[in-house]
Amino acid sequence: MTQPLVLLDLDGTLMDSAPGITSSVAHAYRALGIPVPDDATLRTFVGPPITDSFPDHGVPPERTAEAVAAYREAFTAGGMFDNAVFDGVPDVLRALRDAGCTLLVATSKPEVYAKPICDRFGISDLVDGVHGAPLDEGTSTKADVIAAALAAQGRRSPVDPAEGPVLMVGDREHDVHGATVHGIDCLGVSWGYAAPGELEAAGAVAVVDEVPALAPAVRDLLSPAL
């Protein structure tokens, strides 16, 4: 049996990235001359592929590419670093590594942005790899990102318990659904951007409400491998 593998969502799980994402989304709406959604709607953009979110919230499908380009203009100009690691997350990552877990970031954010963000905020030093979507997010799902992360570790899908346990940790329903495709349980965290009851309805195996409780919850779910 190999080491337990923990897949970690980035936005809303390890980092509070809402300020930079929502401001960049608002810029895109203004650039297209479309009314900017309210704050609650803007927060729903954090997590899922941006190419899915724009058509879901008033951007005509034929203008999605234009909206994405405007969003990335603001995002790469500084929005990507308008971000912060949630208090206590570095301690959680150190505790899980000390417990013998392999840790991989698995995010729907394009990998070309995810890696520099993880480098800038010190996440890269605390995990064993960072996996994200291709720049054309419309060609990738969370399940695809998880598939790439598994392949990088030589793991099969659906996961084989004989190769060691695997757990996903995320804050949105697409984290749960993406993990389920590969036969992986997802532990939800409530400090992210999910609507009330979203994680439970999606089938999260449990939901953690406080960052310090995350490492013990992960260890409990991976026991007796740890």
Catalytically annotated residues: 9
Distance between CA 75 and CA 154 in Å, rounded?
33
Angle at 89 between CA 88 and CA 90, to 5 degrees: 95
Q: Which residue reads 């049996």 in tokens? A: 1
Q: What are the tokens at 168? A: 């996903």
- ω before 224 within 30° of 0 (cis)? yes
β pairing state of 102-110 and 185-189? unpaired
In the chain, the N- to C-terminal Cα span, in Å, equals: 11
Measured between alpha carbons, how far is 127 from 145 in angstroms, rounded to an integer? 16
According to DSSP, the residues that pair with 131 across neighbouring strands are 106
